[in-house]
Amino acid sequence: MDRSIIHINVADFAVAVERVLDRRLGGRPVIIAPQGAARAVVYDMSEDAFQTGIRKHMPLGRALRRCRDARVLPPRPERYRQAMARMLKTALPCSPLIEPGDADGHLFIDISGTSRLLGPPVDVAWRLGRHIQKDMDLAPIWSLAANKLIAKTASRLVKPLGEYIVEPGDEAAFLAPLPLFLIPGIEADDRTRLSDFNIHRVFEAGRLTADQLQTIFGRRAAFIHDRLQGVDPSPVRPVDRPIPKIVESVEFGDDTNHRPQLERCLYRLVERIGRQLRQQSLAARRMGLIMEHTDGVRRIRQTAARPATANDFTLFTHALRVLDLAWTRRVRLRRMTLICDRLTYPPAQRLLFASERRRLEKQEQLIAAMDRIRRRFGSQAVNVGRMVAA
């Protein structure tokens, strides 16, 4: 059975919500950013502000130099969450399989197999867009396709207002003429590697053989190939089942690029995540790191953890690996966020060699003892040597 996935997107969601609540904001550039903060960055901006060169995570001072007549409003995340909840309530009669974004105006809705009940998928998408506009006074973009990748790409083509339908079987033809930066999952580093071969569009990258992709991307080759062909089997998660993940972050009082300090902070994040994993009897199969620089540039990298682990020392080894992948600039860092996801039960398979088993058992005994001490005397009662500043 062909899948039918609707993607709803209210462009510049935070600004759109603020304009509904205050009609005086219509017709002028709007920037959402913390006011009075020394290092404030742009949280969201209106389309007319975007056209002046303002981007998300840009320092507010630089943004105001580019658009001096912009109205600056503080972020109000609670308002945006309430608006998302109302959008979700409007969409729920269509399907229980609804995957919302993080208060950003995005919804994926799987209406596969509902034609006899709700009518043709195109009609469902059209009605849903009209209902959201009538109920909330927001003008959503909507797209309809056979998977999430194509639906999201299609909605990007008609931003800030419009609709797009991609028929099943037309995925590769739809993607072929598009620039690579429009394809979700193909990151800036991927595009840089392809640009070395003067490849900038999907049809140009599609000419590469499997061996050539393997040479360029290594383990990511199969993923890149599927993206270029429009293949995306990922399901739309039920609305009450968010992605299981554990997130911890640190914001530096003074921006820094001092490696020992970064490693100490990274280990502290690892300890917090490891403790939460062990409390829930879970292990992480993937670790990601978001590095936010002083100039507003963000670097996001991730690495697989095989086998899945909740061991602080093993997690820290993966964290150092992903730190090296993400830290490619000399500009100082403002914030680091560590994410562990693809959570599962700890693996039951034992290590093959006795020496490795003994080493791991000693580590786990040490970690368990530290957990007991911290539960009784507080999280700072005991620390490992690497947490002591030189």
Domains in the chain, ordered, with CATH? 5-11+78-165 (3.30.70.270), 14-76 (3.40.1170.60), 171-229 (1.10.150.20), 245-387 (3.30.1490.100)
- Give the C-alpha separation, 267 to 387, whole Å: 8
Q: Is residue 118 over pLDDT 90?
A: yes
Residue 353 has pLDDT above 60, yes or no: no
- The band of 351, judged by pLDDT with boundaries at 50, 70 and 90, is very low
Burial class (CB in 10 A: 0-12, 13-18, 19+), 90: middle
Do 10 and 138 form a contact (C-beta atoms < 8 A)?
Answer: yes
pLDDT tens column, 356-387: 667 777 777 788 887 888 777 776 777 777 66
Q: How far apart (Å, rounded) are the C-alpha atoms in residues 296 and 53?
A: 14
H-state helical runs in 6-160: 13-21, 47-51, 60-66, 77-91, 115-118, 121-136, 148-157
CB within 8 Å of 296: residues ≥ 6 apart: 41, 42, 55, 57, 58, 59, 62
Whether the CB-CB separation of 270 and 312 falls below 8 Å is answered with yes
What is the per-residue pLDDT for 348?
42
What integer pLDDT is reported at residue 140 of this predicted model? 94
Structure confidence by residue, pLDDT tens digits, 36-55: 766 788 999 999 999 999 99
Q: What is the mean pLDDT of residues 247-275?
A: 91
Percentage of the chain beyond pLDDT 70 is 92
Return the higher-pLDDT residue of 189 and 88.
88
Does 389 have pLDDT greater than 70? no
Sole residue written with tokens 């609709």? 163
DSSP symbols for 290-350: EEEETTS-EEEEEEEEEEEE--HHHHHHHHHHHHHHH----SPEEEEEEEEEEEEPPP-PP
Predicted local confidence at residue 217, as pLDDT: 84
**Mean pLDDT score, 298-306:** 88
pTM: 0.68
pLDDT above 60 (res 304): yes
Amino acid in the structure at residue 196? D
What share of the chain has pLDDT > 90, as a percent?
56
- pLDDT tens digit sequence for 315-330: 999 999 999 999 988 8
> Average pLDDT, whole number, for the chain?
88
Tell whether the model's pLDDT for residue 305 goes beyond 70. yes
pLDDT given for residue 349 in this prediction: 43
pLDDT, tens digit, 9 for 90 and up, residues 119-132: 999 999 999 999 99
Of the spans 15-19, 231-235, 306-310, 384-388, which averages the highest pLDDT? 15-19
